[in-house]
Amino acid sequence: MTGARSAAFGSQPSAATLTIGDVLATLKVEFPDLTISKIRFLEDQGLVQPERTPSGYRKFANGDVSRLRYVLGQQRDHYLPLRVIKEQLDAIDRGLVPPGTSTDSPRAAHVAIASIEDNAPTAAHFNPAPAAMRLSRDELLNAAGLRSDQLGELEQFGLITAKPGGMYDDDALAVAKVVVELARFGLEGRHLRAFRTAAEREVSLFSQVVGPASRQRGGEARARAEETVRELAALSVRLHAALVQIGLRDIVGGS
């Protein structure tokens, strides 16, 4: 619990190395009336939980100091009782933004989701216009840095398809370049079939959504269907990224 709480007040949890005297010296500049007794009192109230050495000495992490600074600041600047501050800390520990007033409710923090939303493709990145590039097999291999046997495997599993006349377009080049990067980690065409299957299912779903509009006569209806498809594509990528991020926490964090 201590490590989780400390991490909530810092980008990375730090080792608990500070004594209570170190904490007092750090915070006393900002809070001149602070005493060791006050720090111990806040610990007794459950507002901070420093680690204890085998001999019983308190050891504070940087997150604990930030937590104390928050408590002291709320007391000094907003005259909030410890009960309310403790509720705010609980909200922060759970990844929420604490309420601004006693009548507000905590709301979700825009942290991890923002990183996905800020970097994921938008609707403008998805252009349903026909591909314009025409590459021979050798030109595709050279442009992507792909081996002939790799291309054959990608064609076997349907990730790349030659156009009439044996030519390849810019979509094929885009897929080939990504595959080359994935191959550095030992992933081959047979491993990537799931990506093609998932993409086909998404496209099929989007087709059902925009089908009625796309069958209407007139350029306005087609333009509306095209814009809808692009927005759906962007949202699907963001959802995929969020789900992958959740799975990575299980792999890396072991939680």
Of 49, 79, 109, the domain-final residue: 109
Q: In this structure, what token pair is assigned to residue 10?
A: 């810092």
Is 200 among the domain residues?
Answer: yes
Is 152 among the domain residues?
Answer: yes
As for how many domains the chain has, the answer is 2
- Residues 248, 127, single domain; the answer is yes
Is 141 among the domain residues?
Answer: yes
Binned at pLDDT 50, 70 and 90, residue 94 comes out as: confident
- Residues 141, 232, single domain; the answer is yes
Is 114 among the domain residues?
Answer: no
Q: How far apart are CA 202 and CA 85, in angstroms?
A: 46
- Residues 96, 129, single domain; the answer is no
- Residues 105, 127, single domain; the answer is no
Compute and round to an integer the Cα radius of gyration of the chain: 28
Contacts 24+ apart (CB under 8 A), 94-103: 95/8
Print the domain residue range for 70. 2-109
* pTM higher than the cut 0.85: no
- Residues 80, 184, single domain; the answer is no
Structure confidence at residue 159 (pLDDT): 93
- Residues 127, 241, single domain; the answer is yes
Binned at pLDDT 50, 70 and 90, residue 102 comes out as: very low
Residues 185-203 have pLDDT tens digits of 999 888 998 999 999 999 8
Residues 15-61 have pLDDT tens digits of 889 999 999 999 999 999 999 999 999 999 999 999 999 999 999 99
Structure confidence at residue 49 (pLDDT): 94
Q: How far apart are CA 230 and CA 236, in angstroms?
A: 10
Report yes or no: 72 and 27 within 8 Å, Cβ to Cβ.
yes
- Residues 170, 226, single domain; the answer is yes
Report yes or no: 188 and 153 within 8 Å, Cβ to Cβ.
yes
Share of the chain above pLDDT 70, in %: 80
Is 118 among the domain residues?
Answer: no
- Residues 6, 99, single domain; the answer is yes
Q: How far apart are CA 112 and CA 210, in angstroms?
A: 31
Q: What CATH number does residue 79 fall under?
A: 1.10.1660.10
- Residues 129, 244, single domain; the answer is yes
- Residues 56, 91, single domain; the answer is yes
Q: How far apart are CA 205 and CA 163, in angstroms?
A: 25
Measured at the CA of 100, the angle between CA 97 and CA 104, to 5 degrees, comes to: 90
Of 109, 133, 165, the domain-final residue: 109
Is 115 among the domain residues?
Answer: no
